Amino acid sequence: MIEVLLRQGDSGDLVNQVITSLNRIGLLHSTPENFDESVAAAVALFQQQRGLTSTGNVNNQTFQALEEARWKLGDRSLYLQPSPLMRGDDIAQLQNRLTDMGFDCGKTDGIFGVKTEIAVKEFQKSVGATVDGKCGPATITALIRLTKTVAGGAPTKLRETARQQSRGPALAGKVIVINPARGGDNHGVSANGAIESEFSYDIATRVEGRLLALGASVFLTRGPQNDPSESDRIKLTNNSNADLMISLNFDSYKNEKAHGVATYSYGSDAHGIHSVVGDRFASLVQREICARTDLQNCGTHSKTWDLLRLVQAPAVRIDLGYLTNPTDADRYKNPEFRDLIAESLVIAIQRLYLSAEDDAKTGTLKISDLKRAGLRLN
């Protein structure tokens, strides 16, 4: 459960800081004395724009995003510092400008990491500036001057797509990380006799077994009895040099009628960036599950949650259903249904790596087809 820091009726220094940030970015045009309805509406709009869950309340992630949003390129010098790394919209703007000119910053995530420092050094070298990896006034001036005449294309999307295509169609040799939600004493959603931590881990192991049979290397971010922190799960994924990361979750809602499956990938309209491979995989997952089951299709969505943002590989989070809905819960109590979900996920993973001419109609491909086609082999 995400802890709420601030909500309507609250007051104090943190509330004043939120109000100042909202005014600075143009979403609030007054200075109320407390967290009133106008502040809640501005927060909800900000969350919607940033790809966060829109609640009108401020949690840790929203507070961090508000801090990042107040920085514009040129407001400060940017450089690689020891943990915590510098974050901000100014860094996302820097990454976008460097990427447009052909310098590889990796994912545009608004975080000044090693790849961004290398890209800055390459840019400085190309314009004859002092090569120190720091983006100070002189580097920013050169960057702005040059990017006025250089534009067009989508280098990040091209690189991400080319990297994925270069891995070939076979799952053998691919590194897939599966992140079953919760774990240990943290059961997550528990309703109608269904428990999120148990079902997410059960489905993860079913997917793992099928992927191993097809020659993939598979890592689970947790075992049956532990609950690593989100940062530890991200670290494990990045250290494994994953080709793909899949997070398995369940949802809940106060109204038991809410039901269905939804899939999320990394994307930010505020930064103007999306993970093209993540978006495609999210679409494949959603289509395969909904073609093979009677789960309600709740669509695919772009979010900037840390799990999607900080994982270097294309990543998706799947909310497999609402356990607060009796029908969804009953579906997942059936082991055969969980098998069907696992098969849907494996087929979606395989289809991600197939060329258009080798692909099959949604809902028709089977794992046995992959084995007969020799897709287990390199």
* Burial classification of residue 229, based on how many CB atoms lie within 10 Å of its CB (0-12 exposed, 13-18 middle, 19 or more buried): exposed
Q: Which two tokens stand for residue 16?
A: 């004043």
Nearest CA to 273 out of 164, 155, 165 is that of 155
pLDDT in tens, the chain (378 residues): 457 689 999 999 999 999 999 999 999 999 999 999 999 999 999 998 888 888 999 999 999 999 999 999 999 999 999 889 999 999 999 998 898 888 988 888 899 999 999 999 999 999 888 999 999 999 998 888 876 444 444 555 556 666 666 667 788 889 999 999 999 999 999 999 999 999 999 999 999 999 999 999 999 999 999 999 999 999 999 999 999 999 999 999 999 999 999 999 998 766 677 788 899 999 999 999 999 999 999 999 999 899 999 999 999 999 999 999 999 999 999 999 999 999 999 999 999 988 654 556 666 667 666 655 545 443
Buried b (16+ CB within 10 A) or exposed e, 288-325: bbbebbebbebebebbbbebbbbbbbbbbbbbbbbbbb
Q: What angle do CA 218, 275, 133 make, to 5 degrees?
A: 100
Pairwise CA distance, residues 90 & 313, whole Å: 23
Pairwise CA distance, residues 203 & 74, whole Å: 48
Backbone torsions φ then ψ of 23, nearest 5 degrees? -65, -40
Q: Residue written as tokens 């494994």?
A: 240
Query: Which domains are delineated in the chain?
Result: 4-69 (1.10.101.10), 89-153 (1.10.101.10), 161-372 (3.40.630.40)
**Predicted model pTM:** 0.80
One DSSP character per residue, 293-335 reads: S---EEEEEEE--HHHHH-SS-EEEEEEEETTSHHHHHHHHSH
Coil vs helix vs strand at 193: coil
Q: What angle do CA 174, 176, 181 make, to 5 degrees?
A: 175
